[in-house]
Amino acid sequence: MSKQQEKRPLLEARDVSEVFGGLKAVSDFNFHINKGELVGLIGPNGAGKTTVFNLFTGVYQPTTGEIRLDGRSLTGKRPYQITQMGIARTFQNIRLFSELTVLDNVKIAFHNHVKYNVLEAVLRVGRYYAEEERIEAQSLRLLDIFHLKDKAGELAKNLPYGAQRRLEIARALAAGPKLLLLDEPAAGMNPQETQELMEMIRWIRKEFGLTVLLIEHDMSLVMGICERIYVLEYGMVIASGTPEEVQKDPEVIRAYLGGE
């Protein structure tokens, strides 16, 4: 029993399916990620990758099956509760707080780590000033890591595309996750930006002791960085394993090269 607990994955999905009307977006999905791993989830457009993230974060509830974080079931949990339990994410279609400043975008994500109450905030007494100062300093540090400190006072909507994607990651980190889910973080970036981003992901993972799950539809990109990869097609896992194993898999070659 104790041995089993030691090996317990950080996040685990068992026989998870998600049905939208008649469409089975995800079927019999089995998945696990261990603490500290960097895992990729790849597959063609419409394969169900984002749906998997929405299931992991409580945006959707699984039609069947169960998802567990640290052994605790996520069934029935709302997204904010799952964030409190230690999962943070970014969005493929960027969802920043666009009319707010870059700094405020990050500050908001410290929501569950702020130690003053409404009364202290309104009366500006007690821990208010000290906590505001701490949050601001930590937010600026995160922005610095993602080369956004110079833009702290700018509105998020005015950032260039690549910077918006980086801000999404900075914001997710501010939520203090154990597990970070990145949904196509390099989409729309040029090759040099992508390369820098992958370096950054590697670095923050070490620096923050994170477990990272990365969605990408460009296979070559994840090959270099991920330790394990799941390949999704039509909502089903068609292959999983190390990048080398997956690359050689005939099913994967067929799915990606379009062979019959």
Partner 1 sequence: MFKGMKYLRKNDAIMLGFAIVLFAVLQGLVTGRVLSSFWQLNVLIIGINIIMAVSLNLINGYTGQFSLGHAGFMAVGAYVGVVLTTNFHAPFVVALLAGGAAAAFLGVLIGIPTLRLSGDYLAIATLGLGEIIRIVIMNIEYVGGAAGFKGIPHLTNLAWVFWVTVIALFFIKNFVNAQPGRACLAIRENEIAAESMGVNTTKYKVMAFAIGAGFAGIAGGLFAHCFYLISPASFTFMASFNYLIMVVMGGMGSITGSIAGAFVVTFLSAALASWPEFRMIIYALALIFLMFYRPQGLFGYMEITNMGPFRKIFGRPQAQKLKGGKADE
Ligand X SMILES: Nc1ncnc2c1ncn2[C@@H]1O[C@H](COP(=O)(O)OP(=O)(O)O)[C@@H](O)[C@H]1O
The answer to whether residue 203 forms part of the interface with ligand X (CB under 6 A) is no
The entry of ligand X, partner 1, Mg ion, none near residue 110 (CB within 5 to 8 angstroms by kind) is partner 1
The entry of Mg ion, partner 1, ligand X, none near residue 200 (CB within 5 to 8 angstroms by kind) is none
Q: Which is nearer to Mg ion, 92 or 240 (CB)?
A: 92
Q: Look at the chain and count its residues.
A: 260
Choose which of 24, 149, 202, 205 interacts with partner 1 (CB under 8 A). Answer: 149
Concatenating the DSSP letter of every residue in the chain gives: -HHHHHT--SEEEEEEEEEETTEEEEEEEEEEE-TT-EEEEE-STTSSHHHHHHHHTTSS--SEEEEEETTEE-TT--HHHHHHHTEEE--SS----TTSBHHHHHHHHTGGG----HHHHHHT-TTHHHHHHHHHHHHHHHHHHTT-GGGTTSBGGGS-HHHHHHHHHHHHHHT--SEEEEESTTTT--HHHHHHHHHHHHHHHHHHT-EEEEEES-HHHHHTT-SEEEEEETTEEEEEESHHHHHH-HHHHHHHHT--
Choose which of 44, 46, 79, 126 interacts with partner 1 (CB under 8 A). Answer: 79
Q: Which is nearer to partner 1, 110 or 194 (CB)?
A: 110
The answer to whether residue 132 forms part of the interface with partner 1 (CB under 8 A) is yes
Please give the span between the terminal C-alpha atoms of the chain, in angstroms, as a whole number: 45
Q: Which is nearer to Mg ion, 92 or 139 (CB)?
A: 92
Q: Which is nearer to ligand X, 105 or 184 (CB)?
A: 184
| 8 A C-beta contact, residue 201 and residue 188 | no
Task: For the segment 165-204, give every residue that binds partner 1 (CB under 8 A).
Answer: 171-172, 174-175
The answer to whether residue 194 forms part of the interface with Mg ion (CB under 5 A) is no
Residue window 82-111: x/- pattern of binding to Mg ion, with contact defined by CB under 5 A? ----------x-------------------
The answer to whether residue 25 forms part of the interface with ligand X (CB under 6 A) is yes
Give the interface with Mg ion as residue ranges (CB under 5 A). Answer: 49-50, 92
- Name the residues that contact partner 1, by CB under 8 A: 57, 59, 78-80, 83-84, 88-89, 91, 95-104, 107-112, 114, 116, 118, 121-124, 128-130, 132-133, 135-137, 149-155, 171-172, 174-175
Q: Which residues bind ligand X (CB under 6 A)?
A: 20, 23, 25, 43, 45-51
